[in-house]
Amino acid sequence: MPRQINYVALVAGVLTLVLIAASVFVPWWQFNVGNPALASVNFSPVNFNLALFNTILTVPIIWALNLACLLTLLAGGISLLVYSVLPTKSYAKSLLGFGYKKPLYAVILFMVELIVLYLSVTLLTGVNLPLIGSASLQLPDILSGGITVKVAVSAFFNWTFYFAIAVVVLCFAARVYHRKAAKPVTSISVSSTN
């Protein structure tokens, strides 16, 4: 009897691991202050840092949360891989349920954090940061001491963000494909009678 494999889950699991590795080095969203940049914010669920004058500032509690997110995604990816080769086992659905939601949680967490960051800066400083594109921001007088200070800023989503969305879609496809993959293979034997 041929071994049943949920190929969609297999690909989703591998791509989840690729997403983790890529997100450590390529932020999902990047915000630059100045041109060339004096400061930049690099933001992904597994790596959030502020680079100021080429020095990366790491907030320990955020570093811990990033690590927690990385390990959770890693566990999700591994569980998807294990599930994909054992889709008919009794515990397969538990593994799938554990794994396929993790990239979605990461994307939701990222979006919530980004919106909170955006609203916090807007409400606290009155400055409208662009989420995408370039702008010249005028600092409020209270920050610039009466001098008109305009700062060139730019923000953009990197390919890793779109890749994360693709992984989420693939993970859900793996969940949908489970019904077909977990269906027991029925073997039909045909015997000829003379």
| Contact footprint for other proteins (CB under 8 A) | 33-38, 52-55, 57-61, 63-65, 67-68, 71-72, 75, 79, 90-91, 94-95, 98, 136, 146-152
CB of 180 to other proteins, least distance (A): 21
CB of 187 to other proteins, least distance (A): 26
Helix axes of 102-125 and 159-181: crossing angle, nearest 10 degrees: 150
136 vs 189 by CB, closer to other proteins:
136
128 vs 141 by CB, closer to other proteins:
141
137 vs 166 by CB, closer to other proteins:
137
CA-to-CA distance for 95 and 6, rounded, in angstroms?
13
54 vs 191 by CB, closer to other proteins:
54
H or E element at residue 111: helix 102-125
Residue 24 C-alpha from the chain's centroid: 10
Nearest-CA neighbor of 17 among 68, 65, 59, 80? 80
CB of 72 to other proteins, least distance (A): 5
Nearest-CA neighbor of 15 among 176, 173, 177, 166? 166
79 vs 84 by CB, closer to other proteins:
79
Q: Report yes or no: 72 and 150 within 8 Å, Cβ to Cβ.
A: no
CA-to-CA distance for 171 and 113, rounded, in angstroms?
22
CB of 129 to other proteins, least distance (A): 15
CB of 15 to other proteins, least distance (A): 20
CB of 186 to other proteins, least distance (A): 24
Identify the burial level of 40 via C-beta atoms within 10 angstroms of its C-beta, where 0-12 means exposed, 13-18 middle and 19 or more buried: buried
Q: Report yes or no: 27 and 110 within 8 Å, Cβ to Cβ.
A: no
55 vs 187 by CB, closer to other proteins:
55
